[in-house]
C-alpha cells in the first residue's frame, strides 16, 4: 500500500493471514502465512506455485522441517519452504534463520535417502516425501525459501550441496516482502549485462517513430538464452501468457527436433522471440551494440526459451550453433503496464489466444470485478442489510480498498463487503473447474488450475464478458464449494486430501442434480439446501474411498491429478441426490 511503513505492512499482513486462516478450517496460522506469502511470490514470478504441507521430525541429533513444497513444471527444480511466523516485524537472530534453513536442507536429504519408507502411508506428508524421492534424479537444483514476518540481518547465504544437487537459499523477511508489496510488480527487475555474459550483441536500431518506445533487432546465442531461463525461470516470462506451458505441442516437438538434429537451421526455422525492457545501454563505436537491458521480460517466445533450456538441461543438447532472432522493445517505465500487455497480445496473435488470457487485466476479469462491486447478494437469517461478494482481481486489492477509508467508512465497508465473501482469481478458477467436472484439474493446484481455466475455458470457448447471471452463478458455486468443504471436514476432522475430496464430490454431484436450478436456489438463500448437504456428506465417503485407493498402492496426490481417477469416481454407483 502506498505510503505504508513496514510496521503497518506487518499489521496488514497479519490481517490477511487471519482472513486466509478463516477460509481453511484445520490450518494453523503458519500454514495460512505460508500460503499468503506464496501468493506474493507466485504473482512476482519467483515461484511457480507452492503447496503448503507441514512436516517435522528428528534427524539424527538435529531436526528436519518443511512447511511447503513444489516441483517445477519442467521437473527440474525442487522448491522447499520453511516458515517462522508470529514476530510482527521484530528482529530474528541470524542463528534462528540458519537453523530453519538447515532443517529444510535436512528434510531434502531425508527425502533423497528414502525417508518415506519410514512414514505412514496415505497422508499428504507421505505423498510429498515419496514424490520428491521418486523425482530426485530429474532435479537439477533445489531452492529453499525461508519465509518470515520478522526482520532479519541475513544477506548472503552460501550455496550448499544435498544429494549431489546445488541448493540455493533465499530469505524473504518482512522488509523484503514489504518492498515487493510496494513495487506492485516485482521487487527486483531483471537486468541483463551482455558485456559480462559473452560480450555486446550487435543489433539494428529501427528508425525512431515517437517518444514512447524504441525497437532493436538482434540475434541471441541459444546457450545464453537457456542460461537466462535457468537463472530467472518463470520470472523471465512473467508477462507471457504461455509462460507455464510445457513442451508438449507440435510446435515444441518441432523445436526440440531442430535443436537435436539440425541446430544450424534453428535461425532459419524459428520466428524468434519478443523482449521488452525499460532501459537500454548501447555501444555506438563500432556500429550499434547492446551492452545492457533493464527490467527485461520475454513476452513472446516462452516456448522457444523453455525448449532451449530443457534441451540443454534434460537432453544435454549442444546449443553452440543455435541462434535465436529477437525483437527488443524498450518502453518508458510509466507506460510499461499499458504497452507491454498489448505487445504480448499482438506478438502471440498467430496462435489461438485472445485477450482473456492476459489474466488480471483482461476484460473478462475487469468485468467480473465491476459486477462484484455492483450486485448485492440477498440478506439472510433475518439480516436487514444485503452485501457484496467481493472479487479481488489483483492481489491485496481488498485490503487497499478498505484501508483508504476512514474508520467510520471502514465499518460500512466491512458490512457491505464481509471478508468471508471475498474471493480471488484462483478461487474462481477452482469453483468453475469443479463445476466443469474437471476435479483432476483442480487437484493440479491453484496456479495450474487457473491457467487451464484461462486457456481451456475462457479462451478456447471464446467466452463473452461475464453478465449478471454468470456472476450470481459463480457466487452460488462458491457457496456450494465452501459449505460442502466444511461438511466434509466435519465428517473427517483432521483427515488429509480435503480439497481433493471436496472437488471430486461436487463434480460427481453435478451429474445427478439440476445444476441450474440448484445454483439459482443457492443464490436466493445464500446457502446450500439441507438435503444437498446430506447428499454431499454421503457421497463424499464413497469418493474418499476411490481417492485413497490409487492403482498399485500409488501416490494419492498424484492419483488425484489424473483423468483416470475422475473416471473411477464417475463409475461410483450412487443414487442419493
Poorest-confidence range of 116-125, 288-297, 327-336, 532-541? 327-336
3-state secondary structure of 77: strand
pLDDT in tens, 369-385: 999 999 999 887 655 67
Residue 559 banded pLDDT, cuts 50, 70, 90 = very high
3-state secondary structure of 1: coil
Does residue 284 share a domain with residue 304? Answer: yes
More confident residue, 564 or 226: 564
Number of structural domains the chain divides into: 3
Residue 354 banded pLDDT, cuts 50, 70, 90 = very low
Question: What span, in angstroms and rounded, lies between the C-alpha atoms of 42 and 70?
Answer: 12
Report whether pLDDT(447) > 80.
yes
Poorest-confidence range of 88-97, 130-139, 180-189, 294-303? 180-189
Q: What is the pLDDT of residue 234?
A: 65
Q: What is the pLDDT of residue 352?
A: 41
Q: List CB contacts of 382: < 8 A, sequence separation 6 or more.
A: none
12-21 average pLDDT score: 85
pLDDT in tens, 235-248: 777 554 444 343 33
Q: CA 385, 390, 396: angle at the middle one, nearest 5?
A: 135
Q: What is the pLDDT of residue 188?
A: 61
355-380 average pLDDT score: 76
More confident residue, 525 or 155: 525
Report whether pLDDT(358) > 50.
no
Does residue 255 share a domain with residue 319? Answer: yes
Does residue 164 share a domain with residue 80? Answer: yes
Domain stop point among 324, 351, 378: 351
- Is 21 inside a domain boundary? yes
Residue 27 banded pLDDT, cuts 50, 70, 90 = confident
Q: What is the pLDDT of residue 341?
A: 62
69-87 average pLDDT score: 91
Residue 315 banded pLDDT, cuts 50, 70, 90 = confident
Does residue 177 share a domain with residue 211? Answer: no
- Is 280 inside a domain boundary? yes
- Is 264 inside a domain boundary? yes
- Is 149 inside a domain boundary? yes
7-11 average pLDDT score: 86
Report which listed range, 1-10, 376-385, 449-458, 527-536, is most confident.
527-536
Residue 577 banded pLDDT, cuts 50, 70, 90 = low
Domain stop point among 143, 160, 183: 183
Q: What is the pLDDT of residue 207?
A: 82
Does residue 461 share a domain with residue 328? Answer: no
Does residue 506 share a domain with residue 380? Answer: yes
Report whether pLDDT(550) > 60.
yes
Q: How far apart are the first and last CA of the chain?
A: 47
Q: Which H helix or E strand runs over 489?
A: helix 468-491
Q: What angle, 0 to 180 degrees and rounded to 10, lies between the N-to-C axes of helices 174-183 and 29-44?
A: 40
More confident residue, 198 or 301: 301
Domain that holds residue 452: 366-570
Does residue 272 share a domain with residue 177? Answer: no
Poorest-confidence range of 89-98, 377-386, 472-481? 377-386
3-state secondary structure of 513: coil
- Determine the distance from the C-alpha atom of residue 31 to the mean position of all C-alpha atoms in its chain, rounded to a whole number: 16
Question: What span, in angstroms and rounded, lies between the C-alpha atoms of 27 and 32?
Answer: 7
* Average model confidence (pLDDT) across the chain: 85
pLDDT in tens, 185-207: 444 678 888 877 777 888 888 88
Tell the burial category of 185 from Cβ atoms under 10 Å away from its Cβ (0-12, 13-18, 19+): middle
Q: What is the pLDDT of residue 360?
A: 56
474-502 average pLDDT score: 92
E strands, 111-197, in order: 141-148, 160-162, 165-172, 192-193
Report whether pLDDT(261) > 50.
yes
525-544 average pLDDT score: 94
- Is 121 inside a domain boundary? yes
Residue 250 banded pLDDT, cuts 50, 70, 90 = very low
Question: What span, in angstroms and rounded, lies between the C-alpha atoms of 573 and 212?
Answer: 63
Q: What is the pLDDT of residue 25?
A: 65
Report whether pLDDT(251) > 70.
no
Residue 20 banded pLDDT, cuts 50, 70, 90 = confident
3-state secondary structure of 168: strand
Does residue 305 share a domain with residue 209? Answer: yes
Report whether pLDDT(478) > 60.
yes
140-159 average pLDDT score: 89
Does residue 210 share a domain with residue 150? Answer: no
Does residue 522 share a domain with residue 410? Answer: yes
Q: For the chain, what percent of residues have pLDDT higher than 70? A: 88
- Is 98 inside a domain boundary? yes
Report whether pLDDT(355) > 50.
no
Q: By 3-state DSSP, what share of the chain in percent is helix, strand and coil, each rounded to 5?
A: 50, 20, 30
Does residue 97 share a domain with residue 19? Answer: yes
Q: What is the pLDDT of residue 389?
A: 95
* CA distances to 272, 351, 490, 539 from 487, in Å: 52, 44, 5, 12
- Is 576 inside a domain boundary? no
Domain stop point among 159, 183, 207: 183
Question: What span, in angstroms and rounded, lies between the C-alpha atoms of 41 and 358?
Answer: 18
515-543 average pLDDT score: 94
- Is 454 inside a domain boundary? yes
Tell the burial category of 316 from Cβ atoms under 10 Å away from its Cβ (0-12, 13-18, 19+): exposed
Does residue 83 share a domain with residue 130? Answer: yes
437-446 average pLDDT score: 94
Q: What is the pLDDT of residue 239?
A: 53
Amino acid at each position: 500500500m502506498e505510503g505504508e511503513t513496514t510496521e503497518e505492512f506487518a499489521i496488514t499482513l497479519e490481517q490477511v493471514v487471519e482472513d486466509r486462516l478463516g477460509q481453511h478450517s484445520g490450518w494453523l496460522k503458519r500454514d495460512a502465512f505460508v500460503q499468503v506469502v506464496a501468493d506474493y511470490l507466485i504473482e512476482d514470478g519467483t515461484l511457480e506455485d507452492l503447496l503448503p504441507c507441514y512436516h517435522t521430525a528428528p534427524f539424527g541429533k538435529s531436526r528436519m522441517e518443511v512447511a511447503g513444497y513444489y516441483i517445477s513444471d519442467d521437473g527440474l527444480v525442487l522448491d522447499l519452504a520453511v516458515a517462522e511466523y508470529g514476530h510482527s516485524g521484530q528482529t530474528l537472530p541470524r542463528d534462528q534463520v540458519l537453523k530453519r534453513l538447515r532443517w529444510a536442507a535436512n528434510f531434502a536429504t531425508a527425502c533423497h535417502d528414502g525417508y518415506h519408507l519410514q512414514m505412514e502411508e496415505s497422508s499428504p506428508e507421505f505423498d510429498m516425501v515419496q514424490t520428491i524421492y521418486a523425482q530426485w534424479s530429474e532435479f537439477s537444483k533445489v531452492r529453499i525459501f525461508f519465509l518470515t514476518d520478522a526482520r532479519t540481518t541475513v544477506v548472503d547465504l552460501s550455496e550448499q550441496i544435498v544429494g549431489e544437487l546445488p541448493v540455493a537459499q533465499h530469505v524473504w523477511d518482512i522488509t523484503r516482502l514489504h518492498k515487493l508489496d510496494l513495487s506492485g510488480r516485482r521487487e527486483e527487475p531483471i537486468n541483463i549485462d551482455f558485456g559480462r555474459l559473452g560480450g555486446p550483441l550487435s543489433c539494428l536500431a529501427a528508425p525512431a517513430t515517437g517518444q514512447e518506445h524504441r525497437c532493436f533487432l538482434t540475434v541471441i546465442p541459444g546457450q545464453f538464452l537457456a542460461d537466462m531461463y535457468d537463472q530467472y525461470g518463470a520470472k523471465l516470462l512473467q508477462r507471457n501468457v504461455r509462460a507455464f506451458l510445457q513442451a508438449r505441442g507440435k510446435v515444441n516437438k518441432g523445436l526440440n527436433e531442430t535443436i537435436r538434429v539440425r541446430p544450424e537451421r534453428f535461425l532459419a526455422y524459428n520466428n524468434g522471440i519478443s523482449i521488452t525492457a525499460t532501459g537500454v545501454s548501447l555501444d555506438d563505436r563500432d556500429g550499434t551494440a547492446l551492452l545492457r537491458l533493464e527490467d527485461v521480460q520475454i513476452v513472446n517466445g516462452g516456448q522457444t526459451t523453455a525448449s532451449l533450456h530443457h534441451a540443454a538441461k534434460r537432453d544435454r543438447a549442444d546449443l553452440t550453433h543455435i541462434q535465436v532472432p529477437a525483437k527488443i522493445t524498450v518502453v518508458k517505465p510509466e507506460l510499461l503496464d499499458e504497452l507491454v500487455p498489448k505487445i504480448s497480445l499482438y506478438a502471440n496473435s498467430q496462435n489461438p489466444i485472445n485477450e482473456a488470457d492476459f489474466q488480471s487485466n483482461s476484460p473478462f476479469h475487469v468485468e467480473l470485478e465491476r459486477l462484484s462491486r455492483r450486485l448485492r447478494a440477498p440478506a439472510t437469517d433475518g439480516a436487514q442489510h444485503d452485501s457484496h461478494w467481493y472479487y479481488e482481481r489483483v492481489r491485496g486489492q481488498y485490503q487497499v480498498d478498505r484501508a483508504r477509508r476512514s474508520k467510520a467508512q471502514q465499518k460500512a465497508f466491512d458490512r457491505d463487503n464481509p471478508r468471508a465473501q471475498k474471493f480471488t482469481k484462483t478461487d474462481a478458477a477452482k469453483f468453475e473447474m469443479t463445476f466443469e467436472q474437471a476435479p483432476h484439474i483442480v487437484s493440479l493446484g491453484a496456479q495450474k488450475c487457473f491457467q487451464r481455466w484461462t486457456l481451456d475455458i475462457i479462451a478456447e470457448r471464446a467466452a463473452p464478458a461475464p453478465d449478471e447471471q454468470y456472476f450470481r452463478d459463480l457466487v452460488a458455486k462458491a457457496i456450494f464449494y465452501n459449505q460442502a468443504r466444511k461438511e466434509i471436514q466435519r465428517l473427517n476432522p483432521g483427515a488429509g486430501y480435503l480439497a481433493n475430496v471436496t472437488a471430486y464430490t461436487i463434480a460427481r454431484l453435478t451429474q445427478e442434480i439440476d445444476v441450474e436450478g440448484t445454483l439459482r436456489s443457492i443464490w436466493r438463500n445464500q446457502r446450500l439446501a439441507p438435503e444437498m448437504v446430506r447428499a454431499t456428506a454421503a457421497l463424499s465417503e464413497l469418493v474418499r474411498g476411490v481417492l485413497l485407493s490409487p492403482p498399485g498402492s500409488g501416490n494419492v496426490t498424484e492419483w488425484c491429478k489424473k483423468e483416470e481417477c475422475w473416471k473411477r469416481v464417475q463409475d461410483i454407483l450412487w443414487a442419493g441426490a
